[in-house]
Amino acid sequence: MKTMVMLIGAGAVGKSTISRLLVGEGATEYAVELNTVLKGEPARCRVRYAAGPTVALAGSLKNGSDSISAMDALRQVIDLCLQQRDVVITDGVRCTCTLVDWLANHPSRPAVVFAHIAPPLTINMQRLSARRAARGVTEEQLPDKTYWNVFHFRARARAVWRYAQAHYRRPQVQFVEIVHGTAEQAATQIVDALRGEGKE
Amino acid sequence: MKPLKFEITQPQDGTWVGEALRGQWLSHRHYRLRLGPDGLLGHYLVSVTGRPVCLYLPQALDLREQLELEPLFRGVARRKAWSTKRLKSVGNLSTHRNRNGTWSTLPRAQRLEMLRHAKEGTFGWRGRFPCAYNLESPDEYARIANYTHRISDLLMDNWPEAYERQMLVCSRRYNHLIGRTPWSQAVVNAEFYMSSHMDDGNVRGSLNAEIVYGDAQGGRLIIPRLSLGIQVRPGDVLFFDGSELHAVEAFTGRRMSVVWYLRPPNAAR
């Protein structure tokens, strides 16, 4: 049985960290060139995916699915990963309702685990500041645009999460909301959901 | 401390006659439930038929710091309220005709003793335009804006969903807010006894924040639909939906309130 794990969350909530934990330490990263459509134009796109013993990640180990800029390419990579492994993770910050619909109509009918990573706002902000500090950015507070965008990304993630709950109708689906805890605890919760896939 | 939640079920049979109360002076006859020192004292989140309406946080602010800012807020409230347009909506005063027969935009001051000393003033942003106070007293405004962050933090800690919802609305016009808070403007009302009104000019569903100075007897904020009378004292913070009909009860002594609210970005100057 093929299974998709769709991590939904704003930026800097730990999606890529959780993905890395799920893929496992021995994962290998591959690069492929795909014919895709970028901004309405046909384009050749070089994308990465990572594959562990049983789990594959549609995207690079460092940035996850965010490393794939074209949504069409992301879908192709997911298909490729589904052919190679039983469990595939997508963790893009740009996850959309369209992607949820695409999964709902996917011909291979995979079981799906939707995981909404929604830590409290203060923790989200702290993680974002820490990430920027680690990148060498010295600032007293987050720049205006970055600060206010956090609210948009959180609202968008929430909207996709609600959309998935309301519109995903296939029987083999699990919804996991992770509000507190470390990345390890979150990964454990998702693994538990994977084990109980199809219950709901 | 997590606020206690209590739910008020609104009658569905149309017995609520709130509109009739609009513009009226309200008193203890219009509420049964008291929040504050002589009623229920604690952190309360009140919702009506599932929709949260107000959050009351007694003694949530550092009183010393709040009192330090009192002269600044008194400096904001420098216009006599009885000669302003605002009195029409919150002072229950009617307009009169000018000598040339046209309607005056200002209400006629009636012999209402309670409003004789009422003063008001605003700071922050009205739409895209800064209030005069920001430009005339930038240092004082910066201190007040800094203090507004404390109030905003309280909302974030105690009612995160509402905070995030309001910040999302604000994020499209963040240059015209009081700092990084979910409010664009605030009004300081000194000795201002108000008839029942709704804050029609605010962004729909947005929350106001209120703090109070003074040692007044009475002066509860009344929300008649919820039959709620809330005694806000110095150190307390009240967050409430201004689109609910509300009023300030008569009081004796000194009372000054500061109310932060969110105006739409295209609000008239």
pLDDT digits (tens, 9 = 90+) for A31-77: 999 999 888 889 899 999 999 999 999 999 999 999 998 889 999 99
pLDDT grade, residue B269 (50/70/90)? Answer: low
pLDDT grade, residue B260 (50/70/90)? Answer: very high
Provide the residue type at B170 as one letter: C
For the stretch A153-163, pLDDT in tens is 999 999 999 99
Classify residue B196 by its DSSP letter. S
* pLDDT of res. B7: 74
For chain B, which residues make up each domain, given as ranges?
4-91+111-261
Q: What is the dihedral of CA A120, A121, A124, A126, to 10 degrees?
A: -110
**Listed range (A55-59, A101-105, B2-6, B39-43) with the worst mean pLDDT:** B2-6
Give pTM, 2 decimals.
Answer: 0.87
As a residue count, chain A comes to: 200
Distance between CA atoms of B215 and B235, rounded to whole angstroms? 12
Asked if pLDDT for residue B2 goes beyond 90, the answer is no
Distance between CA atoms of B148 and B209, rounded to whole angstroms? 10
CB-nearest partner of A152 from B163, B171, B180 = B171
Asked if pLDDT for residue B268 goes beyond 90, the answer is no
Token pair in block for residue A92: 């893009």
* pLDDT of res. B18: 66
Task: Please state, rounded to an integer, the average pLDDT across all residues of chain B.
Answer: 86
Q: How far is A152 from chain B (nearest CA, A)?
A: 6
- Which residue in A has a C-alpha nearest to residue B170's C-alpha? A148
* pLDDT of res. B49: 74
**Sheet hosting strand B33-35, strand order edge to edge:** B33-35, B228-230, B221-223, B247-248
Contact B156 A155 (CB under 8 A): no
Q: What is the dihedral of CA A130, A131, A134, A140, to 10 degrees?
A: -50
% of chain B residues with pLDDT over 70: 85
As a residue count, chain B comes to: 269
Are the C-beta atoms of A95 and A164 separated by less than 8 Å? no
Enumerate chain B positions whose Cβ falls within 8 A of a Cβ in A.
156, 160, 163-164, 167-168, 170-171, 174-175, 180
* pLDDT of res. B88: 64
**Listed range (B97-111, B205-219, B230-244) with the worst mean pLDDT:** B97-111
Decide which of B96 and A9 is more confident: A9
Enumerate chain A positions whose Cβ falls within 8 A of a Cβ in B.
120-122, 144, 147-149, 151-152, 154-155
Contacts of A39 (CB under 8 A, 6+ apart): none
Are the C-beta atoms of A6 and A165 separated by less than 8 Å? no
Classify residue A92 by its DSSP letter. -
Q: Give the architecture-level CATH label for domain B4-91+111-261.
A: 4-Layer Sandwich (3.60)
Asked if pLDDT for residue B197 goes beyond 90, the answer is no
The residue assigned the tokens 């009351």 is: B56
* pLDDT of res. B95: 61
For the stretch A5-38, pLDDT in tens is 999 999 999 999 999 999 998 899 999 999 998 8
Contacts of A126 (CB under 8 A, 6+ apart): none
